[in-house]
Structure 1
């Protein structure tokens, strides 16, 4: 067994796991008295706890009801609404209570939030499109709070479970659809440049162009934000080019609606003058006239899958995978047509 200096740092769940040579969920199982841990492993973990003078910050209040925190950046978009529907459906079917918060780390540190969760008897944390970094997530893991992320904006690390969609494949399918219609001047209005899903959708767009022997035109690729305002601004910039695009692949439906709004304001007809493809397949898009061609994410299933993965960890089970991607599909509607 490795020697560890216990005089310079407080023992954590992660340090016990490291010294014992087991995973954090295994240490959690021992703490919770689970019987699916080998006797030799249990003895080794308990010995390390004694050696490191480990003290659990708060015992798990494992009753019939599990309490989980769900932290979101906003609750005003159809994306969040549909993901939350899936989370609540899974939680309700597993006797779990959900506490929704829009609090960010700007107002409270990771360590403070951990302590609040422990004091309140919360069992796990689910982050939706969070900007939290690797060190923030580690703070929760070290105190024994399982974390699952939905579409994280920053790489979470290989040991943190994240759930999303096949963004690369969706971006490729959207662009190939426009190419099949005969478009050659196809622009891409992307999401935040630091977001993994934005990168994947853009790379899918580029892969489709390269697959047809076409070069990516830098002036046609503009990163921004998942907002209607960016869609308006982005199309304005594109229309100022000497050769404006005949089609736009937007990184989400909200951007696409901003593009549509600006096109209409300038007297352009969709799809006769400009074809538009979105991404998400949120329900509010079905109400647009004409209806938007989009790449549909299974948002409710993403929410259900994320909640299930978190509940499994709370129960001390090892995750089946730390990166879960659910399939997207292209929904061809009325906002795309061959160029004039």
Structure 2
């Protein structure tokens, strides 16, 4: 005995089952509002029952989210925001990749910005969102040539003046960190930042530096280090700061991961936080609440940044314009237990 799989449902299949015209089913599929509620409900139920997917499968838009390196606390928060926005009606499919991976550019062919962009377009991606990735001008140009919109979140390097980006008020965040430490009485402070060329890192450092200089307490050159935004950098570079002949009484770290790594360096040396050293992080990921002591941070709305990036990408994919090529969401200071007045020595 042989069995055969039923053929893919068509508009005609659904129309016959519903006892309506093909035109009516087409209106329901395309979201037209000139169909009575009762007929619409019946047709939609039959579409689900027959697993109707249309001629080319789902018409759901698909966005490629590109990360650099391993996912971390920061990128997980951004991704959560993207996914939450993608789940909102009418729904968006999200594909994840690291750099120029996950797209077929041809067997054995070298991956270039052009071949990657063409692969993205052929894969049916509606847009690309880059998260703290080294998206180059060549990448952005190639995507534009392939008619694939690009939105960059916290670009490490500028991808071109016309590229739409989403970030936070990093300069203002640096100011608020400095003002908080000054209000506690700290004057010998350090900055332990991320990648030197990263625009967000430079903005945080410049806001922090300028505020302390204006207050008459410039940061000493030997108390400024730019590494990466990772935990390991906080452990190693943080240890170097602590081992100085005249260590700081407070450190502003360029990310939560750096700050938590610095706290670990303190633990290994018997330095107490905040009694011996105050620490301020930047991001306000789950790490900030889970570490001991809970971390004072400059909070940037990472999930909202992901949501705004997705909605902006969809607007560009639909051919709509955006009010600005760069959107900055406000940062805010969240005071927890990792900062206190300096101990008198």
Greater RCO between the two (CA within 8 Å, min separation 6)?
1
Determine the structure 2 residue equivalent to 1:228: 231
Q: Equivalences for 1:311-330 in 2 at 5 Å?
A: 311-330=314-333
Structure 1 residue 75: Cα displacement: 4.9
Q: Following TM superposition, where does structure 1 have runs of at least 4 consecutive aligned residues deviating by more than 3 angstroms?
A: 61-64
Contact 2:257-2:287 within 8 A present in 1 as well: no
Structure 1 residue 274: Cα displacement: 0.5
Instruction: Verify: 1:238 aligned to 2:241, yes or no.
Output: yes
Determine the structure 2 residue equivalent to 1:90: 85
Q: Which moved more, 1:185-194 or 1:89-98?
A: 89-98
Cα deviations by residue, 1:3-51 (Å, 9 ceiling, x for unpaired) = xxxxxxxxxxxxxxxxxxxxxxxxxxxxxxxxxxxxxxxxxxxxxxxxx
- Distance in structure 1 (CA, Å) of the matches to 2:293 and 2:111: 44
Q: Which runs of 5+ in 2 are unaligned?
A: 1-55, 102-109
SS of residue paired to 1:277 = strand
- Distance in structure 2 (CA, Å) of the matches to 1:146 and 1:132: 13
Q: Give the TM-score, by structure 1 length.
A: 0.79
SS of residue paired to 1:333 = coil
- Distance in structure 2 (CA, Å) of the matches to 1:190 and 1:284: 17
Determine the structure 1 residue equivalent to 2:206: 203
Contact 1:146-1:314 within 8 A present in 2 as well: yes
Q: Which moved more, 1:194-203 or 1:129-138?
A: 129-138
Cα deviations by residue, 1:96-133 (Å, 9 ceiling, x for unpaired) = 2111111348x732112112112211111110001121
SS of residue paired to 1:200 = helix
Structure 1 residue 194: Cα displacement: 1.0
Which of the two has higher C-alpha Rg? 2
- How many residues are aligned here? 279
Q: Equivalences for 1:83-232 in 2 at 5 Å?
A: 83-93=78-88, 94-104=90-100, 108-232=111-235
SS of residue paired to 1:304 = helix
Q: What's the C-alpha RMSD, in Å, of the aligned pairs? A: 1.6
Determine the structure 2 residue equivalent to 1:286: 289
Determine the structure 1 residue equivalent to 2:74: 79
